[in-house]
């Protein structure tokens, strides 16, 4: 089974807008282009986009906007303009933008004389307005990210109303809760240094959060970028030495390989990633509108959540997975039994990524096993010659073969009643 048709462009900030275009007659279309879009649309923060009837357009930023919404470009000039061309596919309501050698595609969600809502390649909903004096539209989905303030305090907002806060001088983050009042664009944060903090959201984009605090002071937070995770991606990942996927970067060519079926047949597609720990896959040169969210990546562990477009073109979480990095070379060496004892070992449920832990207690000849929050105790025996590990509990017995044992890795194998191979991996993390 192909795990993806998930992908996107690395240019998340390149065009955070776009729409459609058309003719000068308000009642008629030229070709198949909606006539309502022949105007200049306001995007907020001194940025505008204009669609002309001839398939051309121009993006404009004013008032010393630092980070361009259309392209990655820093500028201190009062006004910058960037021309583009576009076309529109009526059957799919897809707008194709051609800009500086790049091709981007967006979908029109709603269109009126005053408002344009589009969905970009990442599935983000963006609202543009005809009137620059209109109140800003806040897409609260953009809040679910990690943000850093001008004083280097770090805030994380999760979708479930929980999050974390780390002051600049603190060594660790503290848990917080929050709620959002849409009518007043009011964000209320609890447990910020023991206080309740209230922010009025002034504007919110993929990369910038502007708020007014309790004292009326305006604050600007930017999306927190942790670049270290990107280099950690590369390598083979799997379970018990069996590769499931591989990510490589050779001379700038980023390739993703999935090993499919029992035969481990490699299937390779290009991929890109962004500053928000997301990976996008391109099958046959095409991105299908989903992505993988990397929730954790270390020297040992890669955890991901998979998001895909549903029938209504909404991004939906469809799965999760945690894998171990496969060492190169992966020598199947079984060390002395004494390596089993001491610290806790960790594995993960391959289906949902939930943790499984165990600890060998030599003095009691038992193993404390925790899974799905349930703590269980098994007696065990271990044969140093055959490397057979036998677990017993309430008269039931399960035997594994240890195929690798080091100071921080265990590979386990067993054969079930149907003759199928079962395997697990544990690590000291």
- Confidence class for position 1, pLDDT limits 50, 70, 90: very low
Burial class (CB in 10 A: 0-12, 13-18, 19+), 187: buried
Look up the pTM and report it: 0.52
Q: Do domains 35-129 and 228-325 have the same CATH topology?
A: yes
* pLDDT at residue number 19: 32
What's the pLDDT tens digit per position in 229-288?
Answer: 788 999 999 999 999 999 999 887 899 999 988 788 999 999 988 766 889 898 887 887
The tally of CA atoms less than 13 A away on the side-chain side of residue 154 is: 15
Q: What are the boundaries of each domain within the chain?
A: 35-129, 146-223, 228-325, 337-427
Q: Which residues contact 279 (CB under 8 A, 6 or more apart)?
A: 6, 233, 256, 271, 272, 273, 291, 292, 294, 304
What's the pLDDT tens digit per position in 117-146?
Answer: 888 877 777 788 876 655 566 888 889 888
Q: Which fold has domain 35-129?
A: Lipocalin (2.40.128)
Write out the CATH class of domain 228-325.
mainly beta
Provide the percentage of residues in the chain whose pLDDT is more than 70.
85
For the ranges 1-15, 60-74, 102-116, 213-227, which has the lowest average pLDDT? Answer: 1-15
Domain boundaries 337-427, corresponding CATH code:
2.40.128.540
- Confidence class for position 325, pLDDT limits 50, 70, 90: very high
Q: What is the DSSP string of 142-173?
A: GGSSEEE-TT--EEEE-TTSEEEEE-TT-SS-
- Confidence class for position 225, pLDDT limits 50, 70, 90: low
What's the pLDDT tens digit per position in 196-223?
Answer: 999 999 888 877 899 999 888 999 998 8
* pLDDT at residue number 256: 94
Find the mean pLDDT for residues 357-368: 91
What's the pLDDT tens digit per position in 164-205?
Answer: 998 888 877 889 999 999 888 899 999 998 899 999 998 888
Out of 37-46, 204-213, 222-231, 380-389, give the one with best mean pLDDT: 380-389
């Amino acid at each position: 089974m192909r795990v993806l048709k998930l992908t996107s462009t690395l240019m998340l900030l390149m065009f955070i807008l776009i729409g459609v275009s058309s003719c000068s007659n308000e009642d008629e279309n030229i070709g198949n282009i909606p006539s309502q879009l022949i105007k200049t649309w306001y995007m907020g923060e001194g940025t505008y986009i204009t669609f002309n009837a001839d398939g051309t357009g121009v993006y404009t930023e004013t008032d010393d906007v630092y980070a361009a919404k259309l392209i990655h470009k820093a500028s201190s000039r009062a006004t910058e303009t960037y021309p583009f061309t576009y076309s529109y596919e009526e059957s799919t309501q897809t707008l194709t933008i051609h800009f500086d050698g790049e091709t981007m595609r967006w979908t029109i969600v709603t269109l009126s004389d005053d408002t344009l809502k589009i969905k970009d390649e990442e599935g983000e909903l963006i609202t543009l307005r005809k009137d620059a004096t209109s109140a800003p539209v806040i897409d609260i989905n953009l809040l679910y990210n990690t943000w850093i303030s001008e004083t280097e305090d770090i805030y994380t907002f999760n979708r479930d109303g929980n999050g974390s806060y780390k002051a600049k001088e603190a060594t660790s983050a503290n848990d917080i809760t929050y709620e959002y009042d849409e009518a007043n664009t009011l964000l209320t944060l609890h447990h910020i240094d023991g206080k309740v903090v209230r922010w009025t959201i002034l504007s919110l984009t993929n990369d910038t959060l502007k708020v007014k605090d309790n004292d009326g002071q305006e604050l600007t937070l930017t999306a927190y970028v942790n670049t270290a995770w990107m280099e950690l991606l590369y390598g083979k990942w799997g379970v018990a030495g069996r590769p499931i996927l591989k990510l490589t970067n050779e001379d700038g060519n980023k390739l993703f390989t999935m090993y499919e079926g029992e035969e481990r047949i490699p299937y390779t597609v290009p991929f890109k990633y962004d500053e928000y720990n997301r990976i996008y896959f391109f099958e046959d040169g095409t991105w299908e509108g989903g992505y993988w969210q990397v929730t954790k990546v270390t020297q040992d562990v890669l955890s991901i959540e998979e998001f895909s477009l549903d029938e209504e073109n909404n991004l939906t979480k469809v799965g999760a997975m945690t894998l171990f990095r496969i060492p190169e070379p992966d020598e199947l060496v079984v060390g002395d039994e004494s390596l089993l004892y001491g610290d806790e070992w960790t594995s993960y449920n391959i289906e949902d990524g939930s943790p499984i832990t165990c600890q060998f207690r030599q003095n009691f000849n038992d193993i404390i096993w925790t899974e799905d929050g349930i703590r269980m105790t098994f007696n065990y025996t271990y044969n140093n010659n055959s490397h057979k590990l036998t677990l017993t509990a309430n008269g039931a017995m399960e035997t594994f073969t240890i195929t690798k044992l080091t100071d921080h890795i265990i590979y386990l194998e067993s054969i079930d009643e149907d003759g199928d191979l079962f395997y697990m991996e544990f690590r000291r993390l």
